[in-house]
Amino acid sequence: MPNAYISGTGGYVPPRVVTNDDLIQQYGVDTTHEWIHRRTGINERRFADAGVGSAELGEKAARRALEAAGLEPHELDMILFASLSPDYCFPGSGVIMQERLGLCEGPKARFVPAMDIRNQCSGFLYGLGTATSMVQSGACKHVLLVGGETHSAALDLSTRGRQVASLFGDGAGAVVVSATDEDRGIRGWWLGADGRHVEVLCQKVWDIKQRPFIPLDEHGVGQVQPEAMWAYMEGKKVFRHAVERMCEAVLTACTAQGITGADIDLWCFHQANMRINQYVAETLGIPEDKLVHNIDRYGNTTAATIPLLLDEAARDGRLQRGMKVAMVAFGSGFTWGSAICDW
């Protein structure tokens, strides 16, 4: 059975920077930089321009990952696209990005399968488990895994929505998971979910149980109430569960591998809230110099946070061949996961 390793990484964030002060001055949000930074660690985030969606951001990250892996798009065997902000309700963004990569036309056309993964902040790790399994089974040699998010189009950028809107930014990260006979790669992945907390962190833009699934006015025009249109979050409950589950996921991974936290060279935590990550690191005794962060610059980019961290660390030299890397995430659902990789 071949090993599955990350042969290339790529990342992309849109050029427009939106600082905490911009939320106040441009959008009229009644808040302060200090209020946001103290609670989240966020200074700024990136917003995509109108007309730019998650597949477009994902394509830019994917092309950089393919270049790093020394591959052309037609050499891929599968595409996995993790997102909570897909371009459409359906079809998924994976097929959109497949077309954008040029796989549907020309002499090198190759209609590889494309799968979307809807596990929000845990989506990249759910995708990594899927990609690893596909490679280890021998079904695929190269799998492209992308986390792409365009949150800015669906944020309540007002005082009413400040608790959630201040947290999120747009961006994409990508990795290529490839087969190798070398003794390296993804050593294991561990995933979990607890559906009892579905409504603690959710966005109910529609309710498919209703007829019609979006209420209509007297003119037949769909009307979505604010409580359904925007994301809802019970922040204190999410914080508590995130700390508990992330610690559990880390301990599960280390125990399964017969290692301790001291054996890990680099930690990539999902970037939801700097305070959550600091609490987890303190609880587990993880030194600051082994952690990488980008939430201060990008906010929470959901499925894109971990691949963006991997790409930045690989390109700036913090992540080098032979290092042992741990990844952990927690998100709505609730869902969570961890993975350990020998780079």
Catalytic residues: 121, 270, 300
Write out the two tokens for 197. 């907390």
Yes or no: say if 285 and 261 are a contact pair by the CB < 8 Å rule. Answer: yes
How far apart CA 184 and CA 53 sit, in angstroms, is 35
Longest dimension (CA), the chain: 65
DSSP state at residue 303:
G
The answer to whether residues 147 and 306 touch, using CB atoms and an 8 Å cutoff, is yes
Report the DSSP beta bridge partners of residue 291. 267
Tell which residue, 270, 224, 226, has the closest CA to residue 249: 270
User: Can you tell me which residue has the tokens 């798009």?
Assistant: 73
Angle ∠(116,174,308) on CA atoms, nearest 5: 120
